């Protein structure tokens, strides 16, 4: 639809940016923090590990001052489970608790709304040793305990909560990316879908816990949802795209929002003997819990076809945005209509609009964008800044589509760009930068880690300001 009259963003729309704990904080063993799977995973020689990251742990006040200068009204960050409970399910670490109180207080002092992700790829290593997400009794109890600690400490100050970051990415390619258990271990699909089911259960209990005790708070999952196109107008390709959407998007959202297993996915799991070990009462648990909105991360779209590929997929290329083949369901293919980023991700701002429309039409819940951004290898120029005009162009196009969605009546409560400051990429080191603020370090040379606003910093500041005026 061509939009003839654009609607304005609500005055209380939250304009923000995001980070995650393990990618930004550093201080990975400081003040009693326990090890997470991200701290122990093997990392390629050419990339930085996560031990120092952007040193946000020690720099958060300075960073928040810059976020305030940019005019942000929200900041999405995750809490490190092992800073709060070092071994995952035992003693509470007071220093960890204090750190997040200070961080939240600092944000609020600066007029920035905290949006807290409970879990972002950083499972406590000791819980991983006990079976991680495969060990249902252990993990559900531990996740609930950890979440209760967070709610009791922070829910009076934090209104917006996110349960699990990108459950769908963890299940679909988490073992290859070492997001799921820190190892490049191939789980069989039965075990994977059991892990996924355990996440559904844990997440549902946590949503209910918050609703029962802190009715003013709002909570949602944060999945990586993408629009999926058929490669042609062959009906079989359309069906393949529907299958891919079910596997990547709706299976997760149907379970979390509607408390139901998507029927197509159920059939796929059943036919392949991948059905999880349902327990009595599971459906009731899923049905009872309802998110208040849907948070999602969007980077790009995907294209699929029905025909089976007769090439061997280059394993290296598969990551959280590049699909693969699922025999009998869909096969991956390139989309020649889209430009690619330096790192090979398609740029598709229209897909952003399609994604929002699809979700809103299916679930009618308000949406929150928790990640959207462009990774680029960058260096400071002679003026101590980065001319990241490509990033500005990326944001402009995506925000324009967001404006169209708002104008079409889709409820969106907040947009949080990925990322506020440069942090370590989840799988491609520090050189793949996403921030509005340059952090001066390289993969191996930490330098002084001084912060320098990039051109996009001033652009975002102006963009937000104009909308408020």
Which residues belong to the active site?
166, 371
- The interface region with ligand BG6, picked from 197-205, 288-296, 309-317, 425-433 by CB under 6 A, is 425-433
- The interface region with ligand BG6, picked from 45-53, 151-159, 405-413, 420-428 by CB under 6 A, is 420-428
Output b/e per residue, 264-299; b: 16+ Cβ within 10 A: bbeebbeeeebbbeeeeebeebbeebbbbbbbbbbb
Residue 89 touches ligand BG6, criterion: CB under 6 A: no
Residue 224 touches ligand BG6, criterion: CB under 6 A: yes
Residue 371 touches ligand BG6, criterion: CB under 6 A: yes
Q: Give the pairing type, strands 339-340 and 346-347.
A: antiparallel
Phi, psi of 370 (to 5 degrees): -105, -15
- Which residues, numbered 278-297, are part of the site for ligand BG6 (CB under 6 A)? 297
Residue 391 or 404: the one with the smaller Cβ distance to ligand BG6 is 391
Nearest to 385, CA basis, from 441, 460, 447, 457 = 457
Residue 25 touches ligand BG6, criterion: CB under 6 A: no
Strand-pair partners of 438? 452
Strand-pair partners of 416? 16
Q: Give the pairing type, strands 367-371 and 294-297.
A: parallel
Phi, psi of 288 (to 5 degrees): -70, -35
Residue 426 touches ligand BG6, criterion: CB under 6 A: yes
In the set 20, 203, 249, 301, which binds ligand BG6 (CB under 6 A)?
A: 20
Residue 23 or 194: the one with the smaller Cβ distance to ligand BG6 is 23
- The interface region with ligand BG6, picked from 58-66, 108-116, 359-367, 418-426 by CB under 6 A, is 418-426
Q: Tell me if 162 sits within 8 A of 115, measured CB to CB.
A: yes
Residue 80 touches ligand BG6, criterion: CB under 6 A: no
In the set 425, 435, 457, 460, which binds ligand BG6 (CB under 6 A)?
A: 425
Residue 128 or 297: the one with the smaller Cβ distance to ligand BG6 is 297
Q: Which residue is nearest to ligand BG6 (CB)?
A: 425
Handedness of CA 83, 86, 92, 93 (dihedral sign): negative
Residue 52 or 286: the one with the smaller Cβ distance to ligand BG6 is 52
Helix (H, G, I), strand (E, B) or coil at 331: strand
Strand-pair partners of 333? 303
- The interface region with ligand BG6, picked from 141-149, 199-207, 423-431, 445-453 by CB under 6 A, is 423-431
Write down the least CB distance from residue 419 to ligand BG6, Å: 7
- The interface region with ligand BG6, picked from 36-44, 146-154, 398-406, 422-430 by CB under 6 A, is 422-430
Residue 23 or 303: the one with the smaller Cβ distance to ligand BG6 is 23
Nearest to 333, CA basis, from 357, 317, 351, 354 = 317
Residue 298 or 360: the one with the smaller Cβ distance to ligand BG6 is 298
The contact mask relative to ligand BG6 for 303-332 (x = CB under 6 A, - = no) is: -----------------x------------
The contact mask relative to ligand BG6 for 162-191 (x = CB under 6 A, - = no) is: ---xx--x----------------------
Q: Where does residue 328 fall: left (phi above 0), alpha (psi -120 to 50 degrees), or beta otherwise?
A: left
Q: How many CB atoms lie within 10 A of CB 130?
A: 15
Strand-pair partners of 304? 230, 332
In the set 51, 272, 400, 428, which binds ligand BG6 (CB under 6 A)?
A: 428
Half-sphere exposure of 140 (CA within 13 A, CB side): 20
Residue 38 touches ligand BG6, criterion: CB under 6 A: no
The contact mask relative to ligand BG6 for 429-458 (x = CB under 6 A, - = no) is: ---x--------------------------
Q: Tell me if 446 sits within 8 A of 52, measured CB to CB.
A: yes
Q: How far apart are CA 388 and CA 386, in angstroms?
A: 6
Alpha helices in 155-178 (DSSP H): 167-177
Residue 245 or 297: the one with the smaller Cβ distance to ligand BG6 is 297
- Which residues, numbered 375-404, are part of the site for ligand BG6 (CB under 6 A)? 375
With a CB cutoff of 8 Å and minimum separation 6, the contacts of 123 are: 36, 37, 81, 88, 132, 133, 180, 181, 182
Write down the least CB distance from residue 11 to ligand BG6, Å: 29
Structure tokens at 356: 């929002």
Interacting residues toward ligand BG6 by CB under 6 A: 20, 23, 165-166, 169, 224, 297, 320, 371, 375, 418, 425-428, 432
């Amino acid at each position: 639809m061509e939009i003839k009259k654009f609607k304005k963003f609500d005055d209380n729309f939250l304009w923000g940016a995001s980070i995650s704990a393990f990618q930004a904080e550093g201080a990975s063993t400081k003040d009693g923090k326990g090890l997470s799977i991200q701290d122990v995973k093997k990392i390629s020689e050419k990339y930085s590990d996560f031990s120092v990251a952007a040193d946000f742990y020690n720099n958060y006040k300075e960073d928040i001052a810059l976020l305030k200068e940019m005019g942000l009204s929200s900041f999405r960050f995750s809490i490190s489970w092992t800073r709060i409970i070092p071994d995952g399910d035992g003693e509470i670490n007071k220093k960890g608790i204090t750190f997040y109180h200070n961080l939240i207080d600092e944000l609020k002092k600066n007029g920035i709304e905290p949006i807290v992700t409970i879990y972002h790829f950083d499972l406590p290593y000791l819980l991983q040793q006990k079976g991680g997400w495969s060990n249902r009794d252990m993990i559900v109890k531990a996740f609930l305990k950890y979440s209760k600690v967070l709610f009791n400490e922070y829910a009076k100050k934090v209104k917006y909560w996110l349960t699990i970051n990108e459950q769908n990415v963890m299940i679909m390619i988490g073992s290859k990316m070492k997001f799921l258990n820190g190892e490049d271990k191939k789980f069989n699909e039965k075990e994977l879908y059991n892990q996924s089911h355990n996440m559904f259960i844990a997440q549902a209990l946590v949503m209910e816990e918050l609703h029962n005790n802190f009715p003013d708070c709002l909570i949602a999952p944060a999945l990586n949802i993408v629009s999926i196109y058929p490669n042609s107008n062959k009906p079989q390709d359309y069906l393949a795209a529907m299958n891919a959407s079910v596997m990547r998007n709706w299976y997760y959202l149907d379970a979390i929002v509607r408390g139901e297993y998507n029927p197509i996915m159920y059939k796929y799991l059943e036919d392949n003997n991948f059905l999880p070990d349902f327990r009595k009462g599971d459906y009731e648990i899923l049905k009872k819990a309802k998110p208040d909105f849907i948070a999602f991360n969007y980077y790009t779209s995907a294209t699929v076809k029905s025909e089976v590929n007769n090439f061997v997929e280059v394993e290296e290329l598969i990551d959280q945005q590049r699909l693969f083949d699922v025999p009998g369901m869909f096969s991956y293919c390139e989309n020649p209509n889209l430009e690619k980023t330096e790192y090979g991700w398609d740029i598709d701002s229209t897909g952003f609009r399609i994604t929002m429309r699809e979700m809103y039409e299916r679930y009618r819940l308000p949406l929150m964008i928790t990640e959207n951004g462009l990774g680029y290898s960058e260096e400071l120029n002679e003026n101590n800044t980065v001319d990241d005009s490509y990033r500005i162009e990326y944001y402009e196009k995506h925000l324009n589509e967001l404006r169209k969605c708002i104008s079409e009546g889709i409820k969106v409560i907040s947009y949080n760009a990925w990322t506020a400051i440069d942090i370590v990429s989840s799988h491609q080191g520090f050189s793949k930068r996403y921030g509005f603020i340059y952090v001066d370090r390289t993969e191996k040379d930490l330098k002084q880690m001084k912060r320098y606003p990039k051109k996009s910093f001033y652009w975002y500041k102006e963009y937000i300001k104009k909308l408020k005026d």
